[in-house]
Amino acid sequence: MSELSNTSNTSLTIKERIILFARNNMGLISTSISILAIGLALLIGGILIAIAGINPWEAITYLIKGSFGNRYGFGETLTRFVPLLFCSLSFAIAHKSGFFNVGAEGQLLMGAVGAVLVGAYIEGLHPVIHVLLCILAGIIFGALWAGIAGVLKIFLGSDELINTMMLNYVAILLVDYLIHGPIKPPESYLYVSATILPSAKLPIILSKTPLHLGFIISLLVTAGVFYLIYRTPIGYQMRTVGANRRAASYAGINIIWATVVALLTTGGLAGMGGAMELMGTQFKIVNGFSAGYGFDGIGVAVMGRYNPIGILLAALLFAVIRVGMGAMQRGAGVPFPLLNVIQGLIIIFVIASGYLTNRLSETVIGGRA
Amino acid sequence: MDAAWMTTIVTWLTMSIRMSIPLLFPSLGGLISQKAGVYNFGLEGMMLCGAYFGYYGSYVTGSPWIGLLLGMVSGGLLGLLLAFTSIHLRVSQLVTGLGIGVFGLGITGYLFRLIDISTATSAATLFSNVNFGKLSSIPIFGEIFLSHNWMVYAGILLVILIAWFFYHTTSGLNFRAVGENPQVADTAGVNVVLNRYLAVVVSGILASMGGAFLTLTQTAYFTENISAGRGWIAISAIVLGKFNPWGVLLACLLFGAADAAQMQIQVMNLGIPYQFLLMIPYILAMLAMVGFVGKVRSPAAMGKPYFKH
């Protein structure tokens, strides 16, 4: 196929024209395939709504109105976007560095614990300093929680996939214990953590909505993460380790160091997401604080194909679905777990559609992508 | 030793066996799939479907057998989906498995909330315990080993069957060859694709039986996320069991014993927060991987898609 580019356009057969078009528009094609995959997932969601005896069109109206049909809903969607984005960045950076961190859920929870400790119990700080300290605590707690799996992997060769997954369950139970005693305000009869002080709360950036400063921070962090991965020496090392461990070792890259940085970053990002959710939205930890953001993050990263623009758009879509699903539940009585059905299907369809893009690039470029 | 302690220990051993079974089925399923070279990370989702559809079938028809069958069909279908994406489409087995997990959590939660559970008759009919007649009145032995429902014995029978298949039949040898070196197996005339398909579908069916065990022999009710990570612990049990059916049985018994122990300590009310007791199986699953991962040899072609040349 390599002589294609040298041939003038006029002498091409239709097949060659199609191949040439595909070659020049791989991004467009893989995006269209992703959109088709999402459409299929939503279609199945609609069928399930109909099975429940609910008019799908009515339900979808609630979804659209609730998520971006009015000022408050729009703000809420962008608020949900924040933890989703952090969790997907967390999964993506681990993926680029060659390991699977499916523990964002637990790391996010632990990050929230770190932030609540600093936010509720340290008094008399200037708001800017207090906010920064809370975020730092979130990052450290998330990174340490991921670090458990990291230590087990680096020193004992234990598989991080199962360990990060198990740490989710342990974190959920640990937080449940904490809000039953150690961090529960003595006067409260509910199982909740102490509420953070006003100086640790993130300011609202869009009036009459819950949208807080964490939204801006999350966009800046996204830029920072991709700068780290693609424009710094350590990012290059992490990617090399992720692409081919053996080659990285021959190239003299310190694999342990690259893995440590990757693990701390992946855990830190999820932890920061937890801190943001706490400081901007919930202000205290309740049972079900995370509600699956960690797993949603995996779907977002897969759908966004691990690139910045893709992840931003995918996080926005997942936020729309999440907020819209709440509105559908309240308005039309659609059970909320439909959220997971649609997200699971999106993950399966988008990853399966990778086959089409692979085949296409095989035909077009003559090699497997 | 006084009688109270004796009773506690007998109860603990009885429960250990019972609690190991919902882990044994998905572990054996995962083992079969991995032996043929395909990772099944969708065990958790398949378990949940088995648990829900098992419950639903039994609740609607009053027959736990129909429930079990329905559950097995749901697990088999998810297995077919995983087989198709990993064998034909050759896309990431891990991500597809995670997707199946999220989907399984969603679909079971969604359908369950559509049922009116406020009615008194929303319980599923359970499988009753096998009647061993006079044998079950043998002290200690009878209680520990002969007081279970048929699925417990079926699980142990399955271990024998799988071990025999793997190591004493030609088809079993071919089957393992598919997971070790598909190219060579293919050259020798073994149908790689067929073997892998069967493996993954059977693995889905077994995982769903583990889920159905929970609702059809234990709780009689479905609750969201009832499998509580057993589909993931199973993967750890496979490694701990060194990819051998008998080893997997022992690993599951160990996990079952830990689960039974934490349940009994909860009942004893020793003042240990229940959350820490509930953590035990998960921490054990992590420790199991630590001690054995480096020393265990997994099937050579595990997780690698096969390209026919």
* Domain ranges across chain B: 3-295
Q: Which of A48, A181, A348 sits opposite B96 (nearest CB)?
A: A348
* Spatial separation of the C-alpha atoms in residues A82 and A80, rounded to whole Å: 5
The string of DSSP letters for B212-241 reads HHIIIIIISS--TTTTTTHHHHHHHHHHHT
Judge: A351–B293 Cβ closer than 8 Å, yes or no. Answer: no
Residues of chain A where predicted confidence (pLDDT) is lower than 50 = 1-7, 367-369
The string of DSSP letters for A237-291 reads HHHHHHH-HHHHHHTT--HHHHHHHHHHHHHHHHHHHHHHHIIIIISS-BTTSST
Sign of the torsion angle spanned by Cα atoms A52, A55, A57, A63: negative
Q: Which of B94, B235, B285 sits opposite A100 (nearest CB)?
A: B94
Half-sphere exposure of A193 (CA within 13 A, CB side): 30
pLDDT (tens digit per residue) in B118-147: 665 678 888 888 888 888 888 888 888 888
Contact (Cβ atoms closer than 8 angstroms) between residue B96 and residue B85: yes
Question: Which letter does DSSP use for residue B307 in this model?
Answer: -
Judge: B103–A180 Cβ closer than 8 Å, yes or no. Answer: no
Judge: B98–A167 Cβ closer than 8 Å, yes or no. Answer: no
**Mean pLDDT, range B94-105, rounded to an integer:** 94
Sign of the torsion angle spanned by Cα atoms B263, B265, B269, B271: negative
Please check the confidence at residue B14 and state whether its pLDDT lies above 70.
yes
Residue A275 near chain B (CB below 8 Å): no
Please check the confidence at residue B298 and state whether its pLDDT lies above 80.
no
**Greater confidence, B62 or B158?**
B158
Contact (Cβ atoms closer than 8 angstroms) between residue B93 and residue A100: no
Judge: A340–B113 Cβ closer than 8 Å, yes or no. Answer: no
In a domain, A171, yes or no: yes
**Mean pLDDT, range B179-191, rounded to an integer:** 90
Contact (Cβ atoms closer than 8 angstroms) between residue B25 and residue B155: yes
In a domain, A98, yes or no: yes
**Greater confidence, A5 or B170?**
B170
Lowest mean pLDDT among A279-293, B47-61, B94-108, B289-303: B289-303
Q: Name which of A272, A263, A222, A266 is nearest A109 in CA terms.
A: A272
CB pairs under 8 A between A and B: 145
* Spatial separation of the C-alpha atoms in residues B104 and B41, rounded to whole Å: 12
Residue B278 near chain A (CB below 8 Å): yes
Q: How many domains does chain A have?
A: 1
What the block records as the tokens of A247 is: 């080659």
Chain A contact probe: residue of B289, B293, B306 with most A CBs at under 10 A = B289
Exposed/middle/buried for residue B141 (C-beta within 10 Å: 0-12, 13-18, 19+): exposed
- C-alpha distance across the termini of chain B, in Å: 67
pLDDT at position A196 is 92
Helix (H, G, I), strand (E, B) or coil at A91: helix
Judge: A354–B290 Cβ closer than 8 Å, yes or no. Answer: no
In a domain, A21, yes or no: no
Q: Which of B90, B109, B275 sits opposite A174 (nearest CB)?
A: B275
Chain A contact probe: residue of B115, B282, B283, B295 with most A CBs at under 10 A = B282
Judge: A351–B229 Cβ closer than 8 Å, yes or no. Answer: no
Structural domain for A250, as ranges: 70-307
Share of chain B above pLDDT 90, in %: 62
Sign of the torsion angle spanned by Cα atoms A297, A302, A308, A309: negative
What the block records as the tokens of B239 is: 């490694």
**Greater confidence, B32 or A254?**
B32
pLDDT at position B295 is 63
pLDDT at position A94 is 93
**Mean pLDDT, range B255-276, rounded to an integer:** 89
pLDDT at position A256 is 86
What the block records as the tokens of A36 is: 């088709």
pLDDT (tens digit per residue) in A225-278: 999 989 999 999 999 988 888 888 888 888 888 888 998 999 999 999 999 999
Judge: A340–B90 Cβ closer than 8 Å, yes or no. Answer: no
Phi, psi for residue B129 in degrees, rounded to 5: -70, 150
Helix (H, G, I), strand (E, B) or coil at A192: strand
What the block records as the tokens of A282 is: 């919930």
Query: How far, CA to CA in Å, does A26 sit from each of A5, A39, A318, A364, B292?
Result: 16, 20, 24, 9, 44
In a domain, A343, yes or no: no
Please check the confidence at residue B115 and state whether its pLDDT lies above 90.
no
Which residues of chain B make contact with A163, given a CB cutoff of 8 A? 286, 289
Phi, psi for residue B183 in degrees, rounded to 5: -60, -50
Nearest CA in chain B to A155: B290
Judge: A170–B106 Cβ closer than 8 Å, yes or no. Answer: no
Q: What is the ipTM of this complex?
A: 0.91
pLDDT at position A368 is 42
- Tell me the residues of chain A between 174 and 193 that have a Cβ less than 8 Å away from chain B: 174, 176-177, 180-181
User: Under CATH, which number does the domain B3-295 receive?
Assistant: 1.10.3470
Residue B143: how many CB atoms within 10 A of its CB? 16
Beta bridge partners, B129, equal B149
Phi, psi for residue A69 in degrees, rounded to 5: -80, -15
Q: Which of B88, B91, B275 sits opposite A173 (nearest CB)?
A: B275
Exposed/middle/buried for residue B268 (C-beta within 10 Å: 0-12, 13-18, 19+): exposed
**Greater confidence, B15 or B131?**
B15
Lowest mean pLDDT among B86-95, B209-218, B289-298: B289-298
Element (H, E) at B67: helix B64-83
Which residues of chain B make contact with A176, given a CB cutoff of 8 A? 275
> Which amino acid belongs to residue B240?
L
pLDDT at position B296 is 67
Which residues of chain B make contact with A346, given a CB cutoff of 8 A? 99
C-beta pairs of A313-316 under 8 Å, 24+ apart in sequence = A314/A88, A315/A81, A315/A84, A315/A85, A315/A88, A316/A77, A316/A81
pLDDT at position A160 is 86
* Spatial separation of the C-alpha atoms in residues B306 and B38, rounded to whole Å: 10
pLDDT at position A357 is 76
